[in-house]
Amino acid sequence: MKEISCKLLVIGAGPGGYIAAIRAGQLGIDTVIVEKAKAGGTCLNVGCIPSKALIHAAEEFHKLRAAASGRNPLGLSLANPSIDLAHTVAWKDGIVGRLNGGVTGLLKKAGVKAVIGAARFVDGKTVDVETEIGLQRIRAEAIVIATGSAPVELPDLPFGGPIISSTEALSLKSVPKSLAVIGGGYIGLELGTAFAKLGSHVTIVEALTRILPQYDADLTKPIGKRLGELGIEVFTQTVAKSYSAETGSLHAEHNGRAIDVAAEKVLVTVGRKPVTEGFGLEEIDLDRTGRFIRIDDQCRTSMRGIYAIGDVTGEPMLAHRAMAQGEMVAEIVAGHKRSWDKRCIPAVCFTDPEIVTSGLSPDEARASGIEIKIGQFPFQANGRAMTTLAEDGFVRIVARADNHLVLGIQAVGHGVSELSASFSLAIEMGARLEDIAGTIHAHPTQSEAFQESALKALGHALHI
């Protein structure tokens, strides 16, 4: 058995893991990273990046179909648009490949040794890796667990054949005639909307009373409207039961009544679970918080010298949270004084239209006992939104009533994901309503709605 020693070992080369390794390498720490598949993890390979590529392709094809139907308000027209999904997937795979290579290059540039294989804990300082050329033992002074998460499987609808997860959905070579999506969260709606635009008849099956339950109803209302325009059927308070290959239908129960949903494919998106099995975690017996590994404000676990970051540590399961944690842990291992002191972690839902949330919602602020001011400005009154056919939605700002400190910012609308950094920066910098209202925003841009929402909260919006 080959043995190597290092100061820092990172298990998992997803967004959190590779950032931890790169930063550690930059700081001169002898670092090894282990990954059993490809660099970039779920996000780069079968999640964030490929899904956004498919969403973009679907939107472009939908525009072509609208032009061909004569319903295009810009006066554009064409005939018989088509899509070769296999070609689209190959384009998506090319992007993923370029980014894989980029991450591998950055690790090498930082002096990080990469080991490909399945890791397994022997003890709190030792990990064995099953590689193609045999077992390799790695001894490390500090270890970062960055194993991520995996799709949740339904007992009565296990993955296989027509029952697929988001991973398989992003690699389909043809557009299914009908698609049932189990779960009305952000993953289900993002992919369901994309396939509807590609030409599938899509049905959403959600067990709760409404879609996107993690967002307030005002933010989700434009999404519900758009789903209807795209011909997507939505069944809430509906539980999926089983699938019949003979009839090509999903059997479900809607408010106690049995229904059948036509489904060439069934996409299960009922959540993700932390990957805590298969790599010997039982050998070190870390404290848990439910299914997740418990950490403190420095991402330290209950065992000295072992850290955990990203999805394996709990919500929010977001790549950018994992990346920030990874950077912080690398600096802590290097001897820097760091702790988790972020005021907010922005979240983006890439539906049509998009949703962005940063900081506290109105309900969350009120629940904390804070008296608040709210300013909301609609894109219907924004010139840039009008000229891009993107008038649905708004920007909303939540601030303290006494000193006008901004507590939260939310938006729903076309392309609002690109406003997320401005929203988070305002909160992290401790901005007040007057700061945002007094900052010149370029005209004509959608960002003006941000300034106008602050003016509205102050009682003197200019364009509404």
pLDDT in tens, 274-308: 999 999 999 998 999 999 999 999 999 999 999 99
Of 184, 153, 186, residue with least CA distance to 168: 153
Return the H-helix or E-strand segment holding 235: strand 233-235
Mean confidence (pLDDT) of the chain: 97
Rounded Cα distance between 416 and 418, Å, is 5
What pLDDT was estimated at residue 12?
Answer: 98
* Mean pLDDT within 334-361: 97
Q: Which residues contact 252 (CB under 8 A, 6 or more apart)?
A: 205, 235, 238, 239, 240, 241, 258, 259, 260, 261
Percent of the chain with pLDDT over 70: 100
- Whether pLDDT at 126 is above 90: yes
* Mean pLDDT within 115-137: 96
pLDDT tens digits, one per residue of 376-414 = 999 999 999 999 999 999 999 999 999 999 999 999 999
Rounded Cα distance between 384 and 185, Å, is 29
Task: Write the single-letter amino acid at 43.
Answer: C
What pLDDT was estimated at residue 368?
Answer: 94
* Mean pLDDT within 190-203: 98
Rounded Cα distance between 444 and 441, Å, is 9
Q: How big is the CA angle at 144 (ends 142 and 150), to the nearest 5 degrees?
A: 160
Rounded Cα distance between 251 and 263, Å, is 10
pLDDT tens digits, one per residue of 211-261 = 999 999 999 999 999 999 999 999 999 999 999 999 999 999 999 899 999
Percent of the chain with pLDDT over 90: 97
On the question of a cis peptide bond just before residue 444, with omega within 30 degrees of 0, the verdict is yes
- Whether pLDDT at 1 is above 80: no
Residues facing residue 408 across a β-bridge = 359, 398
441 catalytic, yes or no? no
* 3-class state of residue 4 by DSSP: strand
Domains in the chain and their CATH numbers?
2-46+89-151+273-333 (3.50.50.60), 163-270 (3.50.50.60), 347-458 (3.30.390.30)
pLDDT tens digits, one per residue of 431-442 = 999 999 999 999
What pLDDT was estimated at residue 212?
Answer: 97
Residues facing residue 31 across a β-bridge = 8
The answer to whether 37 touches 45, Cβ cutoff 8 Å, is yes
What string of H, E and C letters represents the secondary structure of 40-104?
CHHHHHHCHHHHHHHHHHHHHHHHHHHHHHCCCCCCCCCCCCCCCHHHHHHHHHHHHHHHHHHHH
What pLDDT was estimated at residue 412?
Answer: 98
* Mean pLDDT within 320-349: 97
The catalytically annotated residue of 56, 404, 441, 443 is 443
Write the CA distances from 255 to 122, 157, 183, 423, integer angstroms.
50, 20, 16, 40
What pLDDT was estimated at residue 333?
Answer: 98
Rounded Cα distance between 126 and 115, Å, is 15
Confidence of residue 72 (pLDDT cuts 50, 70, 90): confident
In this prediction the pTM is 0.96
pLDDT tens digits, one per residue of 9-50 = 999 999 999 999 999 999 999 999 999 999 999 999 999 999
Torsion of CA 206, 209, 211, 214, to 10 degrees: -120
What pLDDT was estimated at residue 71?
Answer: 80
Which of 77-81, 99-103, 261-265 is predicted least confidently? Answer: 77-81
Q: How big is the CA angle at 303 (ends 300 and 307), to the nearest 5 degrees?
A: 35
Which of 69-73, 131-135, 347-351 is predicted least confidently? Answer: 69-73
